[in-house]
Chain A
Amino acid sequence: MTALLRSLALLALVLAPTAAFAEGSALARGAFEGDEPRVEAELVLDVDEAAPGQPFRAGVVFRMAEDWHIYWRHSGEAGLETELRLGGAEFSPLRWPFPETFDTAGGFIRTYGYSNEVLLFSEAVAPEGGEELRISATADVLVCKVDCIPALLELERTVPVGEKRPSSAAPLFDAYAPRVPEVAEDLRFSLLAQAEAERIEGRLRIEPAAWRVDGEGAFVPDRSPGFETLRGRPEGDILHIEGKASLEAADRPRVRGVARLVSAQGETRYVEVDAPLEEAPPAATVATSASLPWILLLAFGGGALLNLMPCVFPVLAVKVYGFTRMAQESRRGIALHALAYAVGVIGSLLLLALAVVAARAAGMSVGWGFQFQHPIFVALVSAVVVAFALNLFGVFYVGLGSQDLVARVDASRGLVRSAGEGVLAVVLATPCSAPLLGTAVGFAFAAPAWTIVLVFAVLGLGLAAPFCLLVLFPGSTARLPRPGVWMEHFKQGLGFALLGTAAWLVWVMGGLAGVDAMARLVAFLLVVAFACWAVGLAQRATGLGRWLGWVGATGALVLAVGAGLVPTATDDSAVPSRSLEAGAWSPEAVRQALHEGKPVFVDFTADWCLTCKFNERTVLASQRVRSAFREKGVEFLVADWTRRDETIRSELARYGKAGVPMYLLYAPQRPGEPEVLPELLTEPIVLDSLERLTSSSIAKEPNR
């Protein structure tokens, strides 16, 4: 009852505009609860005297009682935005410092505003003439804690005209000014979203990607066209946007708001955000709306096709060797080996799938072939390749005791070797994308965890199938010459092919982490070779010699790792190799060129992607293609994904791809819908697509 009386008394107070001070005062209190004001407002200027024709700032400082707050220019899901009108000069739009986020009812209602103190201000130029400058302010604010009390505050202040002199309030302006979000010309925002009937869900993309939203409360949405309500939810480097589509507006959704951004170097800035919805291109929609059985079929086919891609070069030797080994096996033995190989392939792909799921759970965005973006991985794989080569040379043995070479061929240990070949095939042959595979993997990367695992498993099945079928095909191994000395020579020859693979990996390291890391890797591989040799000696020796060999091998490896011979970090200053004359890709560069009316070809590539390099050298660098590009005035851009790059990854994802290669050809007439070229290029493919470019632009000509 007393509460009711109190609120009735309150009502009388609050419903009348509450200006406790007489007109002409620069200070006013309002939103009384009993006789306690919940807000105090003071009109301040940054000058004591206004110089005619000179700029000055005027604003209102709001000081709120503890736990009370007022609202931002958009109050959010409840509350009421603060209204402040300044008079007496031509004022700029109001400057609003970056607001706080208030969650009530356990986050059910979210509002944006200011607690404690805030200065809202404007700039103006002091008018010419007159003896004094009279500035007035009217503030209509809603002050809330649990209850809300409206207040209308009228303020006035007069300063003499004279020389410009900073006032005692000037530092206050200087303190708040840096927190006013700027319109950043150097940044571009877009909303990557799926707009369904009533819900809009997506994420905010910031370009350049060096800037990201600085965690909780660092993004505050404003009223946004096409949205009824809208919230930002930061998660790692990503700002998720969730909203309800407006029923009223026919506008395309566009996220507006302010954000506190932080750079990789730790700099902070406050910016206005205006992000148009980026329509996901048809390719991605096809990929994401495709049914799972279809995707699994693509994964199987893509896996099988991967065996024919240039990417397979590094493991060709391993595969050929595996095949020739079958010459000495019985049919049953061959079947077991084929099975072991398949298990190796599928098992390592499942591990890769789990790594992808884990990386995603940790908030990282990864793509197909991401493992090659890590120097440690490249170093380990090259070590394995070198060891494998030395093994083929006969420096040491795997799976065979030294005394009983052929006599006691242990079938089970031979199977381990087959499985190992499967693992190596996956590790080396999978950094690049392939036809069919691109769609399947792109789908998987955007799908729930279990789908990733399933797609990867089927992919492994496809990858292993051709080899298994080949060795199991009746008579295929029978056509091989009978086992004999030739096998030993052939095996050693293949060892050199594997060393070639190691040379390639060393070059990949150069692009990833620089010349220094490359040299360290070579030294590390030398130690690995020494260790293999020591192990080989140990296998042949008895007693102390055996012991010494193993200690030597382990010791050498430990020393090498301890001495930092394994490169661990990427070096951004390392210059990636360029086989083509091209500009660096960025969404701005594409826009710029299209704006100038030039067609654009984008080559998404990476040093570790042999298919990419193969396409570049045999097709894109060919004389005919080069001159066709020149003739049509095509801007050639390269997006190099050798190292981790979020902008490139998200661009790949836009087209439903998870990895490189990817080739886009933009016509200036259709900047939003580039043609996506196949993963394996040929000259006719590229020349034909260039031809279509021109014919379509001629067709458009009369309309201009």
Chain B
Amino acid sequence: MKKTLSLCTFALALAFSGLAAAATVGQPAPAFELKDEEGKEHSLSQYRGKFVVLEWVNPECPYVKRHYDAKTMQTTWEGSDKEKVVWLSIDSTAHNTPEKSREWKKAQGFSYPVLQDPEGKVGKLYGAKTTPHMYVIDPEGILRFAGGIDDDPRGNKETKKNYVQAALAELLAGKEVSVKTSQPYGCTVKYKE
């Protein structure tokens, strides 16, 4: 029964693919359940009451590599209030395996989970188009930001604006997010064709 149901969800997600599917800022973020690289279940609902950052990743993507070499994601998370902010990375690459995620996590030395979405279900539910593609969800489960991590796609700016950092700072201070969307950039998510 559950399998049929999830198949239906998947079919629906496919049918609404493209523009319709994308999660919308200001609306409830789509619920999901995914296993991480160690096989542990994570659901969005279990983090109710905390801010959740979703980060689409693909260790093979040069843009992801650039940001991990510069430790952009790690510092963004650590610079916020780790007690109140949950960071989940999600890999929707069709050919990714938990083993690859474990190796990458070890090599990079970060602590947050890498959720396994090789079917691309959750990626399409959120309308994730690129790696990286960032989403910030508030404690009530409302999507507050969606887009690129910063305003420096080419990686050549002296000073860059980190949108996720700014959004988290504003949200933690009880303010409204001033930049709610930004152009996502990077490699296309390598979804299952």
Contact = CB atoms under 8 A, between A and B. Distances in A.
Contacts of B69: 15
Interface in B29-83: 59-63, 65-66, 69
A518 B95 CA distance: 70
Contacts of A11: 62, 65
Contacts of B24: 198, 244
Contacts of A247: 25-26, 180-181
A7 B59 CA distance: 9
Interface in B144-193: 153-154, 179-181, 184-193
B182 to A, nearest CB: 9
A104 interface: yes
Contacts of A147: 60-62, 187
Nearest to B185: A80
Given A106-B17, A108-B129, A247-B180, 13 more contacts: A14-B62, A79-B130, A79-B185, A104-B188, A108-B191, A144-B187, A144-B188, A146-B190, A148-B186, A148-B187, A148-B188, A198-B24, A198-B27
Contacts of B62: 11, 14-15, 147-150
Contacts of A77: 129
Nearest to A243: B19
Contacts of B59: 7
Interface in A133-187: 140, 144, 146-150
Contacts of B179: 248
Interface string A311-343: 000000000000000000000000000000000
A246 B181 contact: yes
A613 B27 CA distance: 54
Contacts of B185: 78-80
A105 interface: yes
A111 interface: yes
Interface of A: 3-4, 7, 11, 14-15, 77-80, 83, 104-111, 140, 144, 146-150, 198-199, 228-229, 231, 242-244, 246-248
Nearest to A247: B180
Main secondary structure, interface of A, reads: mixed
B120 A229 contact: no
Interface of B: 14, 17-19, 22, 24-27, 59-63, 65-66, 69, 100, 103, 120, 124, 129-130, 153-154, 179-181, 184-193
11 contacts: A78-B129, A79-B188, A80-B186, A104-B193, A111-B188, A140-B154, A148-B186, A228-B181, A231-B19, A246-B181, A248-B180
Contacts of A229: 19, 22
Contact of B19 (A3, A79, A111, A244): A244
Contact of A78 (B18, B154, B186): B186
A233 B76 CA distance: 39
Residue among B59, B153, B180 with most chain A CB within 10 A: B153
Nearest to B131: A78
A148 B65 CA distance: 12
Contact of B18 (A79, A107, A140, A146): A107
B184 A78 contact: yes
A198 B187 CA distance: 26
Contacts of A111: 188
Contacts of B129: 77-78, 108-109
B187 A78 contact: yes
Nearest to B186: A78
A228 B146 CA distance: 11
Contacts of B14: 106
